């Protein structure tokens, strides 16, 4: 069966074809994708910098999280949707692009890091909510998150440079 045949099918769908062949559809979807990614990364950076204890130190971590993460999640849903649409327009080629593969891997790492944070550290947030500098494991989670998301942006930009025009 293979992933290639699934991606080829995706490539040939009316939607994938329309995005690929329409002169303005791809740019508009891509611009929206960029807007969403910058919102996801920027908003996560705010939370991460609070977790590391560098900014907003007098504000409770839980308050920062409750205000910022809804923005992050909404932006992520649109980022993933537009990303899927872009992917479908040239699925096989994207799937073979090393920077695309790196980007997807980094998203998995970011997701796992988030799960670890929410599953373990967030449980006892009451103990360090008010701390200007949270405990080291939490600061580490914030630091890893920022680095991973910066790498996501860099790998995403390099996809554009390494995909030959179709």
Partner 1 sequence: MAASLHAFCQWLGETPLSLTIQNVSWIIPTVQSIHIICVSILFSSALMIDLRMLNLIGRSQAVAAYAARFMPWIWYTLIILLLSGATLIIGEPTRSLENPSFQLKMVLLLAAMTMTAVIQRPLAGNTAYWDEISRRKALAKVVAAVSLCLWVGIIFAGRWIAYTNTAGD
Contact 18, 25 (CB under 8 A): yes
> How many CB atoms are located within 10 Å of the residue 148 CB?
22
Residue closer to partner 1, measured from CB, 10 or 65: 65
Residue closer to partner 1, measured from CB, 70 or 137: 70
Instruction: Specify the DSSP class assigned to residue 164.
Output: P
Residue 5 Cβ, how far from partner 1 at the closest point, in Å?
Answer: 31
d(CA 14, CA 35) in angstroms, rounded, equals 25
- Binding residues (CB under 8 A) for partner 1: these are 27, 30-31, 34-35, 37-39, 41-43, 45-46, 55-56, 67-68, 71, 150, 153-154, 157-158, 160-161
Residue 105 Cβ, how far from partner 1 at the closest point, in Å?
Answer: 17
- The terminus-to-terminus CA distance of the chain in angstroms comes to 25
Residue closer to partner 1, measured from CB, 43 or 95: 43
């Amino acid at each position: 069966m293979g992933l290639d045949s699934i991606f080829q099918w995706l490539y040939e769908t009316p939607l994938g074809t329309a995005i690929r062949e329409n002169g303005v559809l791809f740019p508009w979807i891509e611009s929206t994708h960029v807007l969403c990614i910058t919102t996801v990364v920027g908003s996560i950076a705010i939370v991460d910098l609070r977790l590391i204890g560098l900014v907003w130190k007098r504000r409770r971590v839980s308050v920062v999280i409750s205000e910022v993460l809804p923005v992050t999640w909404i932006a992520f849903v649109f980022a993933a949707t537009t990303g899927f649409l872009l992917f479908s327009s040239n699925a096989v080629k994207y799937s073979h692009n090393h920077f695309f593969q790196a980007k997807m891997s980094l998203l998995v790492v970011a997701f796992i890091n988030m799960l670890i944070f929410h599953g373990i550290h967030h449980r006892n947030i009451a103990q360090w909510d008010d701390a200007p500098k949270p405990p080291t494991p939490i600061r580490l989670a914030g630091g890893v998150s920022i680095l991973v998301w910066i790498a996501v942006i860099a790998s995403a930009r390099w996809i554009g440079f390494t995909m030959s025009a179709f």
